[in-house]
Chains A and B, each alone.
Chain A
Amino acid sequence: MNVFAAIGRVTLGFFRETGRVSLFAGDSVSAVARPPVYWWLIAQQLMRIGYFSLPVVGLTAFFTGGVLALQIYIGGNRYGAESIVPQIVALGITRELGPVIAGLMVAGRVAAAIAAEIGTMRVTEQIDALTTLSTNPIKYLVVPRLVAAVISMPILVAIADSIGIFGGYVVGTASLGFNGSIYLKNTVDFVTRQDVTSGLIKAAVFGFIIALMGCFNGFNSKGGAQGVGAATTNAVVSASILILAANYILTSLLFSR
């Protein structure tokens, strides 16, 4: 086994995949603007990607806010700074944890579902059938999912922000001895518009990544049940990694002063 050959193969494979994803993304985005627009399919995907993700996103946000309050209280206690809890919870949730946790949860739920559905359509020739019926599969399958995910994610994150802060509030008032109205006042006074909007911008980008990786892996799945399984795994893993990488890049762009 030649080490250099292996490194070369991996490097070439990486660039080939990056190129293919970029071309796929380009095709998909350029298809968004061109008619026909499948409004009904977009509405259907808004339900499936957005609405049905609410419980899982809400629950994780609640517990994340709660545990954040607990940890900051314990950490802040070392400096006698435990009163900072409401501010840090609000900041942490709106800027980072709201979008990232929601993004990862939706990646697990939605990217997997998209990849499995489109992958099955690929291996059963349903995608070829679309083409023979004068329907562009990118427009019919990819565009509605992309549009729905980009719209849904900021809304989901706005809700996750509220529930996360509420989780911190519940823990803060119930077990850490904060006064409820002071907790809320500190939160509202401290949080700026940019804290929230930066999180919502991230959410939209994450939504794009989730739908794109689900569709790309589904479209390129082959070889029956095993291929669809692999596509589903790849969709979730690649979407999660890209979300975390994009999160770093977006944070450094949005908060560069």
Chain B
Amino acid sequence: MSGVAAVPKIELRGVKKRFGDKIVLDGVDLAIQPGHSQVVIGGSGTGKSVMIKCVLGILRPEEGQIFVDGQEVTHLKGSARDTVLKKFGMLFQGAALFDSLPVWENVAFGLIQGRGVSRARARDIAIEKLAKVGLGSDVAMLSPAELSGGMQKRVGLARAIAADPEIIFFDEPTTGLDPIMADVINDLIVSTVKDLGVTTLSITHDMVSARKISDHIAMLYKGRIVWAGPTAEIDSSESALVDQFIHGRAQGPIKMEVRA
């Protein structure tokens, strides 16, 4: 396969985003091949979430281009944007479940609202997706507020895969979970990704999780990708920035910034 220039599933070219005077993304270049599981690591406040939101069109970059399946999506709006968004599923950091709706309607939301599936049919699909993440149909009628953090993440994952997306984004999938629940979520991510054959982009600062759920890793630092390569090569990156981060050392080239 090497040598054949496949069209990347997602590609960012020179993406820049600033908030006021603060430059968050300073020319991000990243290509994710179809079927790959890409993890972007980086400290808190390095713009990982901003990068994902730029790809989704929730934020608009000032400069640079973003491609999905070779199509430029940087400035799409309205129904053209909706068409692209139908390829995506996303698991949010805090799960971001709608607390006004029961669990099954959360999972079925994209089907009912975005795709016009009937409620009865959407409910069956929701229960089926909940089973995929290890939740029984008894959970379907509960309110999200009644669930623990780990359970909410599972429901969030079920919602992300409900509409059979081609690409799934995971925003800090293990943050705020105990180590065992984190590992359960990691396993779930790995198995669902394998089942569905999707392309994934995850952002995390949890190296255990990053190693487990990725086949490629890139590191974001000061608004740029400073290293990218296969997960197996991260220990021999020869980058002082990457070494400091993956070993979690306080001393090194990375200085903690006080202000977010």
Q: Are A128 and B98 in contact (CB under 8 A)?
A: no
Tell me, in angstroms, the Cα distance from A36 to B94 when the chains sit together: 28
Binary contact readout A36-64 vs B (1 if CB under 8 angstroms, 0 otherwise): 10000000000000000000000000000
Q: Are A125 and B93 in contact (CB under 8 A)?
A: yes
- In chain A, positions 7-47 with a C-beta closer than 8 Å to chain B are 36
Binary contact readout B71-89 vs A (1 if CB under 8 angstroms, 0 otherwise): 0000000000010011011
**Which A residue's beta carbon lies closest to that of B160?**
A132
Tell me, in angstroms, the Cα distance from A134 to B165 when the chains sit together: 12
Indicate which residue in B57, B113, B159, B163 contacts A140 across the interface (CB closer than 8 Å): B113
Given A131-B58, A132-B85: A126 touches B110 (CB 8 Å cut-off):
no
Residue of A36, A129, A131 ringed by the most chain B CB atoms within 10 A: A129
Q: For residue B163, which residues in chain A have a CB less than 8 angstroms away from its CB?
A: 133
Indicate which residue in A124, A131, A140 contacts B85 across the interface (CB closer than 8 Å): A131
CB distance from B102 to the nearest CB of A (A): 15
Q: For residue B159, which residues in chain A have a CB less than 8 angstroms away from its CB?
A: 133
- In chain A, positions 80-114 with a C-beta closer than 8 Å to chain B are none
Given A134-B82, A134-B85, A134-B86: A128 touches B58 (CB 8 Å cut-off):
yes
Q: For residue B88, which residues in chain A have a CB less than 8 angstroms away from its CB?
A: 132
A135 contacts partner chain B, Cβ-Cβ < 8 Å:
yes
Binary contact readout B107-127 vs A (1 if CB under 8 angstroms, 0 otherwise): 001100111000000000000
A interface residue numbers (CB < 8 A to B): 36, 121, 124-126, 128-129, 131-135, 140
B interface residue numbers (CB < 8 A to A): 53, 56-58, 82, 85-86, 88-90, 92-94, 96-99, 109-110, 113-115, 159, 163
- Kindly list the 7 A-B residue pairs having the minimum CB-CB distance in the complex, ordered from nearest: A134-B114, A133-B110, A125-B96, A129-B96, A132-B90, A135-B113, A125-B92
